[in-house]
């Protein structure tokens, strides 16, 4: 078996004395899930609230806790979380909840928990690299790292650099997935949590994890991956990083951890969030991830959205989408393509009330690099009476999407579509690339 990564052949599946048959038998999303099930992550973990870090929590409705994590290299671990409840929660009340999955360089930000508790949700933020609250300290390599403690599990080493060199159960990504699944199991044991309405949202690496975790664990009411997506081998940044791994490591990632393997296994409604020119998660791979989802799904794509934790939790559409799922809030708008005329006039239909509509288009998708292509913006016409959106597509456009703002100021958009071939490169064609 060979894999093609951005034009380069990535060796055979195994370069050790393991046979190809053995590798295929003990691999893939179902194997990963079976190992997690055997580890007990779907059982309620032992936990204990702690006031040892109260100086860092910032808000009175948030408190710290530790739960028992999976063993790491034979050593017991504990996982720190900030746990927050809405300030107006009365005894006996039940509220929807959300698990917060931080990204690279991130931690259990109490401000993120507060964003959700202010929106009426119980929230738990999970430390995924053995962190405890405190200030970052620079190590001998010049890295600024969050403090850890004697019961810390593994931390992330680059882009899956520990696969193959460590067994599955000692890999960072395995522990990160397990920690979030155990956090859900813990939430389901709390009497104040509406166990039918637990969601998950992750930012950057947390978005990558969210796409994988929801393919392993079908208990979520909703998911909101921000930036992070699948098909990472087709992005300029991650294809370069993947190419630095050994052939066997590359094959292990593509067979066991690539998020696109897990997205088709998901059950929950999902809001996919990204920026048009995100350096890490480019629109080609992001759109393919959206297409791979078999569920109720929506899109939020912000023009030149910044990349970061605060930028990633800021969009109000995120909280409106969660309300739609858990509180019967307003339904998101999903513009649906109808036609592109010979005169390059686009037409979409929609449900709901549109306040503004925009066409975004690009004339060059040669390598998807952040600085190598731009998205133009043009105002689109819409008719709330006829529920149609129309726009004139420039003759040289090769990809485009429609962005809408509803009557409450919430933004949703259509999937990106391609016009034709670009400079001899076969552009991705959607399975559902036809008028609805």
CATH (domain of 146): 3.40.50.1820
Q: Residue 227: is it exposed, middle or buried by C-beta count within 10 angstroms (0-12/13-18/19+)?
A: buried
Residue numbers of the domain that contains 382: 336-418
In this structure, the answer to whether residues 228 and 354 fall within a common structural domain is: no
Domain assignment of residue 90, yes or no: yes
Rounded to 5 degrees, φ, ψ at 101 are -115, 105
Same-domain check for residues 341 and 294: no
Tokens representing 372 are 């190598």
Structure tokens at 163: 């696969």
Q: Which residues contact 383 (CB under 8 A, 6 or more apart)?
A: none
Residue 240: name the closest of 158, 166, 156, 143 by CA.
158
Both 58 and 131 in one domain: the answer is yes
Q: Which tokens hold the place of 229?
A: 């997506």
Distance separating alpha carbons of residues 175 and 75, to the nearest angstrom: 13
Indicate the SS3 state at residue 295: coil
Q: pLDDT category, 373, cuts 50, 70, 90?
A: confident
DSSP code per residue over 102-122:
--TT----HHHHHHHHHTT-E
> What CATH number does residue 409 fall under?
2.60.40.10
402 and 290 in a common domain: no
- Does the pTM of the predicted model rise above 0.75? yes
Report pLDDT digits (tens) over 200-249: 999 999 999 999 999 999 999 999 999 999 999 999 999 999 999 999 99
How many structural domains are present in the chain? 2
Q: Is the pLDDT of residue 8 over 80?
A: no
**Closest listed residue to residue 198, CA positions, set 190, 307, 387, 312:** 190
Contact 230, 259 (CB under 8 A): yes
Helix (H) or strand (E) run with residue 194 in it: strand 193-203
- Secondary structure of residue 199 in the 3-state scheme: strand
Total Cβ atoms within 10 A of residue 115: 20
pLDDT of residue 144: 87
Does one domain contain both 307 and 354?
Answer: no
Looking up tokens 């034009």, which residue turns up? 7
Is the per-residue pLDDT at 145 higher than 80? yes
Q: What is the pLDDT of residue 420?
A: 67
3-state helix, strand, coil in the chain (%, to 5): 25, 30, 45
Q: What is the mean pLDDT of residues 296-316?
A: 97
Specify if 116 maps to a domain. yes
Residue 436, in any domain of the structure? no
Task: Give the pair of three-digit tokens for residue 81.
Answer: 């979380």
90: which residues sit within 8 A by CB, 6+ positions away?
Answer: none
Are 341 and 315 members of one domain? no
pLDDT digit string, tens, across residues 24-73: 468 999 999 999 999 999 999 999 999 999 999 999 999 999 999 999 99
Is 80 exceeded by the pLDDT of residue 425? no
**Which residues, including other chains, have CB under 8 Å from residue 409's CB and lie 6 or more apart?**
316, 355
Average pLDDT rounded to a whole number, residues 137-166: 93
Pick from 142-156, 188-202, 229-243, 415-429: least confident:
415-429
CA angle 238/239/245 to nearest 5° reads 95
């Amino acid at each position: 078996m060979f894999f093609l990564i951005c034009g380069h052949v990535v060796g055979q599946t195994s370069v050790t004395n393991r046979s190809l048959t053995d590798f295929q038998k003990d691999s893939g999303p179902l194997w990963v899930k079976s190992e997690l099930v055997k580890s007990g992550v779907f059982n309620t973990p032992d936990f204990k609230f702690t006031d040892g870090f109260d100086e860092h929590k910032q808000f009175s409705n948030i408190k710290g806790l530790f739960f028992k994590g999976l063993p790491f290299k034979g050593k017991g671990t504990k996982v720190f979380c900030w746990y927050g409840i809405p300030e107006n929660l009365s005894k006996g009340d039940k509220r929807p909840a959300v698990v917060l999955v931080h990204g690279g360089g991130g931690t259990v930000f109490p401000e993120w928990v507060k964003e959700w508790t202010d929106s009426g949700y119980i929230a738990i933020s999970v430390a995924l690299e053995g962190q405890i609250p405190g200030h970052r300290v620079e190590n001998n390599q010049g890295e600024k790292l969050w403090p850890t403690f004697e019961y810390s599990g593994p931390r992330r080493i680059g882009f899956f650099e520990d696969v193959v060199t460590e067994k599955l159960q000692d890999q960072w990504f395995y522990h990160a997935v397990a920690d979030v699944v155990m956090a859900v199991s813990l939430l389901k044991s709390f009497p104040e949590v509406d166990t039918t309405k637990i969601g998950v949202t992750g930012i950057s690496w947390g978005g990558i994890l969210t796409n994988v975790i929801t393919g392993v664990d079908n208990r979520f009411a909703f998911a909101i991956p921000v930036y992070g997506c699948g098909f990472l081998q087709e992005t300029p940044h991650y294809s370069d990083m993947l190419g630095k791994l050994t052939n066997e490591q590359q094959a292990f990632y593509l067979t066991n951890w690539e998020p696109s393997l897990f997205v088709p296994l998901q059950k929950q409604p999902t809001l996919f969030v990204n920026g048009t020119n995100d350096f890490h998660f480019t629109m080609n791979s992001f759109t393919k991830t959206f297409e791979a989802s078999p569920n109720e799904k929506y899109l939020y794509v912000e023009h030149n959205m910044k990349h970061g934790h605060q930028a990633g939790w800021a969009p109000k559409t995120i909280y409106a989408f969660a309300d739609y799922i858990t509180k019967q809030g307003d339904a998101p708008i999903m513009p649906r393509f109808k036609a592109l005329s010979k005169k390059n006039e686009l037409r979409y239909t929609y449900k709901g009330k549109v306040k503004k509509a925009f066409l975004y288009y690009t004339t060059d998708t040669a390598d998807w690099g952040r600085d190598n292509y731009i998205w133009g913006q043009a105002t689109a016409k819409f008719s709330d009476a006829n529920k149609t959106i129309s726009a004139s597509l420039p003759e040289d456009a090769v990809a485009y999407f429609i962005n809408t703002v509803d009557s409450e100021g919430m933004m949703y958009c259509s999937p990106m579509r391609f016009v034709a071939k670009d400079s001899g490169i076969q552009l991705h064609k959607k399975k559902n690339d036809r008028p609805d």
